[in-house]
Amino acid sequence: MNYKITVLRGDGIGPEVMEQGLKILQAAAEKYNFTVEISEALIGATAIDQTGNPLPDESIESCKKSDAVLLGAVGAPKYDNDPTAKVRPEQGLLKLRKSLGLFANIRPVTTYEILYDKSPIKTDRIKGVDFVVFRELTGGIYFGKKGKSEDGKTAYDTSDYSVEEIDRITRLAFDTALNRRKKVCLVDKANVLETSRLWRHTVDKIAQEPQYSEIELDKMFVDNAAMQLIQWPSQFDVILTENMFGDIITDEASVIPGSMGLLPSASVGEGLALFEPIHGSYPQAAGKNIANPFATILSVAMMLEHLKQNDAAKLIRKAVDKALHSGIVTEDISKDNPKSTTEVGDWVKEFITSD
């Protein structure tokens, strides 16, 4: 089997964590007798610097010809602090999601016993936490009509959702829940927002379909959910939510396991799927060989599951677990005895090759 993968390393620590991910992908391919054909393409600030465009057409074309896409990170401080910037790295990411039809962002949050004491949350609260957030990714306030008045004194962003947009991600979330603990929690703001009421109505209707009769559907206002995620995170199984709420609560949820550097994600939709660590470009660490590569390595594992290379994915997960238990970790996890990004990558690679 040969897989065509487009790799978008992006900005900040993106290139160096991706280097480790690719190392592991290659090792897994050799071990399990498949091949990968990598095409590198530009996105983000790096793409702006080289072409003036945060997502050149060639990048989209390359993705469309691939079996899957791997992304590092997007974003650079020189754009963050400039409200007059006409082009921004993040536009590249949003355009990529839209052009590839990636309407569902899937972010699993699991905890590792060995890291319990790294979490800012008390151990008894995070024991057994294992949930997955389904965040809608191509609608809502991110993509609604936006603008500014002529005098520059008012601005607006609108949030639109159609039944169809809600329906398709809801089915993905429900199908996933059927293979898990069968609980779905819809997070919204239906006490205030019309779009949230449409979400409730649509999700309720789908929950009544016979194939979903086993699903236990809960609803929670986003402000309450933000609190419950810290207070009692183990209650959640599958969280379903719109674009903006999903953006916010997944960052919040990412602190539960003890390091944001551990969490992978998948964006899926009309065919092609994209895999990326949920952390950002972390520019302060760029080029220092200190960034945690596990989120990218685990994103490679998610990609291999998507490509039905389940044994390879399992071995990668086992290797990450072993590395964590053996203290082969970067400085975000071990201040006293940190390993470098490349040392962690090499160790995981060696584990896979020699297993």
Residue numbers at the binding site for ligand IPM (CB under 6 A): 74-75, 90, 93, 247
Q: How far is the CB of 335 from ligand IPM (least distance, A)?
A: 26
Partners of 155 in the beta sheet? Answer: 148
Binding partner of residue 344 among Mg ion, ligand IPM, none, CB under 5 to 8 Å per kind? Answer: none
Q: How far is the CB of 247 from Mg ion (least distance, A)?
A: 4
Among 353, 316, 346, 308, which Cα is nearest to 330's?
Answer: 346
| Residues with a known catalytic role | 142, 189, 223, 247, 251
Q: How far is the CB of 136 from ligand IPM (least distance, A)?
A: 11
The residue nearest Mg ion at its CB is 247
Specify the length of the chain in residues.
355
Binding partner of residue 285 among Mg ion, ligand IPM, none, CB under 5 to 8 Å per kind? Answer: none
Closest CB to ligand IPM among 29 and 302? Answer: 302
The two structure tokens encoding residue 184: 């779905």
Closest CB to Mg ion among 40 and 247? Answer: 247
Residue whose entry in the numeric block shows the structure tokens 């962002």: 105
Closest CB to ligand IPM among 34 and 280? Answer: 280
- Can you tell me whether residue 214 is helix, strand or coil? coil
Binding partner of residue 90 among ligand IPM, Mg ion, none, CB under 5 to 8 Å per kind? Answer: ligand IPM
242's CB contacts (< 8 A; 6+ apart) are 135, 136, 139, 140, 159, 161, 188, 195, 196, 199
The residue nearest ligand IPM at its CB is 90
Binding partner of residue 188 among ligand IPM, Mg ion, none, CB under 5 to 8 Å per kind? Answer: none
Residues of this chain that interact with Mg ion (CB under 5 A) are: 247
79, 89 contact by CB (below 8 A): yes
Residue whose entry in the numeric block shows the structure tokens 């498949």: 34
DSSP states of 40-86 as a string? EE--HHHHHHHHS-SS-HHHHHHHHTSSEEEEEE---HHHHT-TT-S
Closest CB to ligand IPM among 247 and 346? Answer: 247
Q: How far apart are CA 42 and CA 48, in angstroms?
A: 9
The two structure tokens encoding residue 329: 């970790």
Q: How far is the CB of 3 from Mg ion (least distance, A)?
A: 28
